[in-house]
Amino acid sequence: MSVLPGDGIGLEAAEKRFGFQLEFRHYIWASCTCFQEHGTMLPPDWKKLLQACDAIYFGAGMMATLLLFRREFDQYINLRPCCLFPGVTSPLANREGEPIDFITVRENTEGEYSSVGGCIFEGTDGETVIQDTVFTRTDVDRVLRYAFELARSITVEKYHIDILCAHFVQRPRTFDVVVGSNLLGDILSNLGPPCTGTIGIAPSASLNPSSSQGDPDQDAKPVHGSAPDIAGQGITNPVGKVWSGQMMLEWLGEKEATQALMGAIEKVLQEGTNAQLKGESDLLTPDMGGKGTTEALGRAIEEEALEIKFEEGVGKKIITANIEPTESPSHSLPSMQIFQSRIIIKRDITEKAKASHGYTK
Ligand code: IPM
Ligand code: MN
C-alpha cells in the first residue's frame, strides 16, 4: 500500500515483519476529485463495498462521507490519543520532562453533529437556520462506559468546556482519559496535539466496539483535515496517518506490529528532533520546524519499524527485512487525490479476540 508514501509503507512493513496479511482495496471516491469528475461523492453501492471490508483507512474526509460512515456503521467511539513524544519540543514553555499522554474519547454519532435541522426563508432577511443537538441516554451511556473502562485509574473531574480548554494548555500532563460530546471532543482533540508539537501527528479511530457482523467497525484517519494550503507539496506530516494505521492494527489485534510502529514513530521523532536541534538533519516536516518531506519521514519510520528491538520479553526476535519499494499506480495520483483517497482494509488474519487489544481493557 502506498497511498501516502510512508504511512502505507509503515503498515506494509509491519505486515511483512509480523507475518499477517492485509488486503487493501483502494478507492478514490469520497473525495472532491470524485465529486468534480462525477458530480457525486459516493457510488451507489458504496455501502456494500465498505461492508465487504473490516476497516476503513481514510486520508481526510468531508461531512458528506465521514459523518455518514460513522452513523451508518454506528461507530460511536472516536479515540484520539495525544502524546508528547520524548525529545520532541512542545510549544508550551517550561515543560521540561513533564509527560503529556492522554486520550480523548469523542462521542461520534450524535450530539451537535445530529443533522437535525434545516433552513427556511433562504436568501431573505428572515433566513433562519435551526440545528438541533441530540443526546440519547443509550448513546451517552455507552460512550461514558467506554471511557471509564479505558481509564487506568478513576478519579473523575467534570469541567465546562471553556475552563477545560485552559487546563489543556496549562496542565495537560494531568489528563488521562477525556470524554466529550461530538463537537467538543473534536475541538479538544485539535487543542491537545498542538501542545505536543503539532496536530500533524495526531491520529484517530472511529470504532464500533459492539459491532454486529458484517460492518466495518473502524475507520482510522488523522485528526487533521485535508489542509488545502499545503496539499500537493509533499510536506504533510505522515505521522498522523501512520499512527492511525497503528491504532487500526491494534484494533485488529496485531500487538507486536502495533508496538513496533509506535516504537518507530517515537524513535524517529526523537532522533529527528535531536538532529534538528544540532542542525544536522531536516527529516522533520515543516509543521515540526523542519524542511523534511512526507516521503522521507515516512520511510524513516518504515525502516525503524522493521528493525526496532523490543524491550526484553515483549517482542519477538529481530528480523531485518529488506523490502523493495513496491510499484503502485497511486504513486502517480495527484496529491489532492492521494490525500483524500481512502484505503479499505480487508482483514485476512487469524481470528484474534478483540478483547486482547489495549483499547478495550
Ligand atoms: C474530524 C473532521 C470531521 C469532524 C469533519 C471533516 C466533519 O474534522 O474527523 O475531526 O469534525 O468530525
Ligand atoms: Mn475535526
Instruction: Name the closest-CA residue to atom 2, ligand 1.
Output: 225
According to the model, what pLDDT value does residue 176 have? 94
- And the C-alpha cell for 142? 455507552
- Look at residues 69, 11, 87 and name the one whose alpha carbon lies nearest to residue 288: 87
Q: Determine phi and psi for 251, rounding to 5 degrees.
A: -65, -35
**Which 3 state secondary structure label does DSSP give 106?**
strand
Answer whether 41's CB lies under 8 Å from 207's CB.
Answer: no
According to the model, what pLDDT value does residue 332 have? 27
pLDDT tens figures, 37-58:
999 989 999 999 999 888 998 8
Query: 2-357, which class in CATH?
Result: alpha beta
For the chain, which residues make up each domain, given as ranges? Answer: 2-357
Q: Which residues of 230-241 are buried (b: 16+ CB within 10 A; e: fewer)?
A: bbeebbbbbbbb
pLDDT at 358 over 50: no
Q: Is the CB of 166 under 6 A from ligand 1?
A: no
Residues 225-248, mean pLDDT to the nearest whole number: 90
Q: Is the CB of 336 under 6 A from ligand 1?
A: no
**pLDDT cut 70: percent of the chain above it:** 82
Q: How far is CA 336 from the centre of its chain?
A: 18
Q: What is the band of 351 on the pLDDT scale with cuts at 50, 70, 90?
A: very low
pLDDT tens figures, 303-344:
999 888 765 433 322 222 222 222 333 322 222 222 223 344
Q: What CA dihedral angle connects 54, 57, 60 and 64, to 10 degrees?
A: -10
Q: Is the CB of 107 under 6 A from ligand 1?
A: no
Residues 11-22, mean pLDDT to the nearest whole number: 79
Residues 236-242, mean pLDDT to the nearest whole number: 94
pTM (2 decimals)?
0.84
Q: CA–CA separation, 115 vs 125, rounded Å?
A: 24
Task: Give the lowest-confidence range in 101-110, 150-159, 289-298, 308-317.
Answer: 308-317
